[in-house]
Amino acid sequence: MYAIEAFNRVLNLEIVVYLLAGLAGVLLIRLFMRGQENQSRAVSEAWNAVILWLAVWKGSLVLFDWESFRHDWRSLLYFSGGSAGMWLAAAAAGVYLIVRSGLRRGLERLFILSLGWTAAVQFSYVLFDAGSAVRHAAIVLFVFIVGYALWRGREQAEWRRTVSLACLYGLGMMALQYVDFSATKVSYSATGGIEQGVKVGQRAADFTLTNLEGESVRLSDYAGQPVMINFWATWCPPCKVEMPHLQKLHEDYEDEGLTVLSVNLTSTERGSANVGSFVEREGLSFPVLLDAEGQVQEQYRIKGYPTSVFVGRSGVIEERIPGALDYNGMKAVIARMLE
C-alpha cells in the first residue's frame, strides 16, 4: 500500500511511514510530559520503544515466514511478519517501557505512544488508500477525541480514568473495523456502461499475448473468473522474492477458480529463453505470458515492477497494487474478491 513508482522501480515506504508514526507518538509523549522533570527520560525511552518495535516487526519475518527468508534473505527488505509481527513488536515495546518505567507509567506511556502512532498511520491510509479514506478518517477523528479526553484529565492522573479510556479506545477501534464505509468503485462511461480501462473501477482492458509454449492467450479467455495479473521481470529483485508467494497462491486458490496470470515484461529481458529458464528453475506452474513488445506494459501503464492488478468475476479491476506482495497480502485481496 505504501508505495510509489519511479524509474521502473516500486519504492516501498512502509518502514518510513511507521518511523514517522513513531515520531508522532514520541511527540505526543513529549506534549503530555511537558513541564515534568523526567520529560527527557520519558521521550528517550519512547524513542527506544519505537526503534525496538521496528526491529522486532521487521525481524519477525524470520519467525513467522521462515520459508520466505530461507528462499531469499532479501525478503526482509520487502516483507515483515505481518499482523502477528506487529503484535509481537507491540508486546516487546510494552515490556521495555514497563521494565524502564514501572507497570503503571509504562502502560500509560504505551497508550499515549499508540494514540500518536495510530493517528499518523491512519492518516497515511487516507493519503495512500483513497478507496477506504472515509474509514481511516473516522478512525483518526476517534483517536483525537480519545487523546483530547486523556489530555484534559492529565492533571488528575487517575489510573481508573486512563484504564477506562484505554478500554474505550480498544472497543472503538474494533467497532470501526466492522463499519462498512465502502462506496462502489465502478466507473461508468458517458453511455451508461462500465468504462473500459486500467484503473480501479474500470473494466479491465483486454489483451492477447503468447505463453512460453507459443500459444496465444487472451485475458478475456478467463471471463467470469477472478484473475490476478502480475507484471514482473527476472532481473527485478522484489519480483524474484514475490514468486514463491505467487506460486503458493496459485496452488491454494486454483480450485476456487482464481487464475494467477503472470505477464513477463520480456521487452526488458535478454530474451524469452531466459524467462523460460527462470520459470523452470523456480518451479512455477501458473500461466506465464510474454510481453515481447512492451505493448501490455504500456497499455496498463506499468511504471514500476512488480505490479499486481486484481480483476473480479465481473471483469472490473478491484485492486491495483504496486510493489512486492507476500502471500497474506495477496490472500487478503483475493478473499474480498471471492466473497
Q: What is the pLDDT of residues 78-123, one digit of tens each?
A: 888 888 999 999 999 999 999 998 888 888 888 888 888 888 887 7
Name which residue leads in pLDDT, 143 or 308.
308
pTM of the shown model:
0.74
Q: 226: cis peptide before it, omega within 30°?
A: no
Q: Would you say residue 207 lies in a domain?
A: yes
Give me the mean pLDDT over the 29-37 stretch: 82
pLDDT more than 90, % of the chain: 46
Q: Would you say residue 184 lies in a domain?
A: no
Number of separate domains in the chain: 2
| Same-domain status, 260 and 328 | yes
| Same-domain status, 155 and 225 | no
Domain boundary residue, one of 178, 210, 230: 178
Digit-coded pLDDT (tens) for 259-287? 999 999 999 998 888 899 999 999 999 99
Q: Would you say residue 186 lies in a domain?
A: no
- Tell whether the model's pLDDT for residue 163 goes beyond 70: no
Give φ, ψ of 321 to 5 degrees.
-125, 115
| Same-domain status, 27 and 159 | yes
What pLDDT is attached to residue 231?
A: 96
Average pLDDT in the chain = 83
Give me the mean pLDDT over the 34-48 stretch: 88
| Same-domain status, 75 and 169 | yes
| Same-domain status, 221 and 166 | no
What distance in Å separates the CA atoms of residue 286 and residue 289, rounded to the nearest whole number?
Answer: 10
Give me the mean pLDDT over the 293-312 stretch: 93
Give me the mean pLDDT over the 286-303 stretch: 93
Q: Would you say residue 259 lies in a domain?
A: yes
The DSSP code sequence of 200-235 is TTSEEPP-EEEETTS-EEEGGGGTTS-EEEEEE-TT
- Tell whether the model's pLDDT for residue 218 goes beyond 70: yes
What pLDDT is attached to residue 181?
A: 47
| Same-domain status, 202 and 172 | no
- Tell whether the model's pLDDT for residue 305 goes beyond 60: yes
| Same-domain status, 30 and 171 | yes
C-alpha cell at 320: 491495483
Give me the mean pLDDT over the 18-42 stretch: 86
Name which residue leads in pLDDT, 299 or 164.
299
- Tell whether the model's pLDDT for residue 330 goes beyond 90: yes
What pLDDT is attached to residue 7?
A: 58
Name which residue leads in pLDDT, 103 or 178.
103
Q: Which domain holds residue 43?
A: 3-178
C-alpha cell at 335: 478473499
Q: Would you say residue 333 lies in a domain?
A: yes
Residue at grid coordinates 503484535: 87
| Same-domain status, 72 and 147 | yes
Residues paired with residue 264 on neighbouring β-strands, in sequence order: 232, 290
Q: CA triplet 190, 196, 198: central angle to 5 degrees?
A: 130
Band of the pLDDT at 135, cuts 50, 70, 90?
Answer: low
- The CATH number for 329's domain is 3.40.30.10
| Same-domain status, 139 and 8 | yes
Domain boundary residue, one of 148, 178, 208: 178
| Same-domain status, 205 and 122 | no
What pLDDT is attached to residue 5?
A: 64
Q: Would you say residue 11 lies in a domain?
A: yes
Q: Would you say residue 51 lies in a domain?
A: yes
- Tell whether the model's pLDDT for residue 307 goes beyond 80: yes
Which segment of 76-90, 138-152, 182-196, 294-308 scores lowest on mean pLDDT?
182-196
What pLDDT is attached to residue 9?
A: 63
What pLDDT is attached to residue 215?
A: 94
| Same-domain status, 258 and 327 | yes
Which segment of 64-73, 148-157, 240-249 scores lowest on mean pLDDT?
148-157
Domain boundary residue, one of 178, 204, 227: 178
Give me the mean pLDDT over the 202-228 stretch: 94
Q: Would you say residue 187 lies in a domain?
A: no
What pLDDT is attached to residue 184?
A: 45
| Same-domain status, 217 and 136 | no
Residue 137 to residues 36, 126, 143, 176: CA-CA distances in angstroms? 33, 6, 10, 11
